[in-house]
Structure 1
Amino acid sequence: MSHKDTAFYRGNKLVSFDFSAEKISSDGSVLLLEKLERKHKLINYFSNIIPDMRDSSRITHSVSKLLKQRVYGIMLGYEDANDVKYLKNDPLLQDILEGDLASQPTISRFENTMDKHAIFKLCYAWVDQYVRTLKNRKSIIIDIDATDDPTHGNQQLSMFNGYYGQFMYNELFFHDGGTGQIILPVLRPGNSHSNKWYVSILKRILIKIKNAYPDIEITIRADSGFSGPSFYKLADFYNLEYTVGQASNEVLKREVLSVAQEVLREYVSKGIKHQQFISFEYQAQTWDKPQKCYSKIESTGKGLNVRHFISNIDEEDARSLYFNFYVKRGDTSENRIKEVKNMCYSDRLSNHAFWANFMRLILSSMAYEMFLLLKQAIKQTKYEEAKRWQVNTIRVALLKVGATIKKTKRRIYYRFSRAFPHQDLLRQLILQ
């Protein structure tokens, strides 16, 4: 053995290395992802929506294969198209994709072929896919929220947003507040206000839901950026229930002034935590009619905090409406957006073209939906700890497992590391 392969000495023992082991993949659980796709056919569904204008005689990688490569890659922690350089010799991915992986230029061309018409088709198909899951449901909650995506290049429609103080894109999400499903992801120019386009998009979503399930009850939950006259008109037309945040203004400050002064005097000045709710009729100048407004006046122990929200849900008192319903959007919407943005990399919109970046948002959202299906599968097992895992933990604890592959004429063997700590869970999930 050459001393060039010596790493170090441990006492009298020489520690050496070479590269003579079998081809080992660090992403062995791609087998689980393929099993999940074969069961639910989510990627296959969207691959049939995307128009393929290529010369069929020159195609090596189908749309379905390109989508699988990108979505599986995102799920396994590979953020960008050029990460294929780390995967091109992976024996398990080559087996699942039935051949060599598509190169970075091929993936980039695929993303950049998306124009406005293709993206609109995908958006309509996305809502249709969601509506098909509503069978036997009597009611749903639609959570609406937006998030900033800072940009660092010359992307189309990357614009300065005064509220966030940065050049960015604005991502808008409609989530199912019960299941966590993405009803629709939308990419908007960076200078968009939170409520840009959302009422017209929500109307299209409602039409599709009501056409399929006319009797389903729909409740809208959103923060103050989505309170406005067009929304309340839409809610009246479709007989929606809603709880929506309301930004403070001089009128609302006058409404809560006496209670706020009392809380300041009795609790804030003494550093005592205290919460008090009041309700009253409120109508902004642009609204057609008054709405019931609730205000939470709180001493946090360090200062005064006042929050307002509008709701037409009558059967609950203000405290339970706020804590048992409204604030739950922190988990069902805000935390789910964090999973899409930070854990499925929807913040990596680095193509030049706007529609290509919209496609990247859709790819990240598809990866999130696959993770959601995986979470549902985990809930059917007996592993209580795993049922609390978020996307990052699932990736590290479950998907990252060393494996090799062996092929014979009649069988393909996936051999996982015997040191893998979650063997029983992975076995159950693959055999479900």
Structure 2
Amino acid sequence: MATLPQITLDFNRQIKLSNDGGSLSSDTGELIFREFDEKIGFSKTIARFLHLKDERHYFIHSNEDLLRQKIYQIIAGYFEDDAADQLTNDPVFTKVVGKDALASQPSLSRFFSRFDAESIAQLNQANQELLDKVHQFREPKALIIDLDSTHADTYGKQESAAYNSHYGTVGFHPLVAFDG
């Protein structure tokens, strides 16, 4: 049986991963995501592109910190903003986000109200740069595009909806493409 050797993380040299049965947490997987974040420069790329119209004068959590917190909460399965109140002093999340305490639910909710069409375009630019980084790292020899159809039920008299005999319901049947 293979065991995990003690590994020190690059983003925080004080954190060591091992399976010796010491202090346990159900959210330690977040540490690996943070390590990946640092390797590809995810948060730095977001910070470079995302410039929200922020009229706050006094704040503890930057927009980049709030976005990072929300992304890591979603990765860990905490989809609702109010989960932030339960995680405020969680030792793993505070290390991952790099703060003494996480932002509260109201802070996260106000954060989303600062987004507009321009900030969404900025996130799309950041996303494209991150995709380019990943493709450079992978050095793909070929581009594989996986075409699939899917089904989405509709109700009422939706325009362009049709009966699908495979699913036995009326709905949309779009064709989607994935970069494999």
Tell me if TM exceeds 0.5: yes
- Asked if structure 1 preserves the Cα contact closer than 8 Å seen for 2:52 and 2:114, the reply is no
Q: Equivalences for 1:284-295 in 2 at 5 Å?
A: none
Tell me which of the two structures has the higher relative contact order, counting C-alpha pairs closer than 8 angstroms and 6 or more residues apart: 1
Aligned to 2:41: 41
Secondary structure in 1 matching 2:145: strand
Query: 1:130-177: per-residue Cα shift (whole Å, max 9, x none)?
Result: 2343344343133466878xxxxxxxxxxxxxx62249xxxxxxxxxx
**Counterpart contact for 1:43–1:64, Cα < 8 Å:** yes
**Matching residue of 1:247:** none
- The equivalent residue for 1:86 is 86
SS at match of 2:61: coil
Which residue in the other structure is 2:129 paired with? Answer: 128
**2:77 paired residue number:** 77
Secondary structure of the 2:102 match is coil
Q: Secondary structure at 1:70's aligned position in 2?
A: helix
Taking the aligned partners of 1:82 and 1:107, their CA distance within structure 2 comes to 9
Map 1:338-349 → 2, pairs under 5 A:
none
Distance 1:166 1:128, change over 3 A: farther
- Distance, in Å, in 2 between the alignment partners of 1:63 and 1:146 is 37
Q: CA deviation at 1:78?
A: 0.7
Structure 1 unaligned segments of length 5 or more: list them.
1-22, 149-162, 168-190, 195-223, 227-243, 245-328, 337-432
Q: Establish whether residue 225 from structure 1 lines up as the match of residue 174 from structure 2.
A: yes
Tell me the alpha carbon deviations over residues 169-221 of structure 1, each in whole angstroms, 9 at most, x when there is no partner. xxxxxxxxxxxxxxxxxxxxxx7969xxxxxxxxxxxxxxxxxxxxxxxxxxx
Larger strand share, 1 or 2: 1
Q: Is the Cα contact below 8 Å between 1:84 and 1:103 reproduced in 2?
A: yes
Query: What is the match of residue 140 of structure 1?
Result: 143
Match of 1:164 among 138, 153, 161: 153
- Match of 2:140, as an amino acid? R
Contact in 1 for aligned 2:37/2:43 (Cα 8 Å): yes
Letter in 2 for 1:89: N
Corresponding residue of 1:106: 107
Q: CA deviation at 1:65?
A: 1.3
> C-alpha distance in 2, partners of 1:58/1:192?
49
User: How far apart in 1 are the matches of 2:67 and 2:160?
Assistant: 31
Say whether the 8 Å CA contact 2:66–2:103 is kept in structure 1: yes
* TM-score using structure 2 length: 0.62
Q: Tell whether the 8 Å contact from 2:89 to 2:100 is kept in structure 1 after alignment.
A: no
Pair 1:60 & 2:60 matched: yes
Alpha-carbon distance between aligned partners in 2 of 1:46 and 1:147, rounded to the nearest angstrom: 31
User: Percent sequence identity over matched residues?
Assistant: 26
> How big is the shift at 1:96?
3.0
Give 1 or 2 for the bigger CA radius of gyration: 1
Distance 1:166 1:68, change over 3 A: farther
- Relative distance call for 1:86 and 1:146 in structure 2 (3 A) is farther
Report the alpha carbon displacement of residue 104 of structure 1 after superposing the two structures with TM: 1.0
What are the residue-to-residue correspondences of 1:190-209 with 2, within 5 Å?
none
* Match of residue 354 from structure 1: none
Counterpart AA for 2:104: S
Q: 2:49·2:125 contact (CA, 8 Å) conserved in 1?
A: no
Cα displacement (A) at 1:73: 0.9
Matches of 1:114 and 1:44, distance apart in 2: 19
CA drift of 1:56 comes to 6.5
TM-score, normalization: structure 1?
A: 0.29
Distance in 2 separating the partners of 1:123 and 1:103: 26
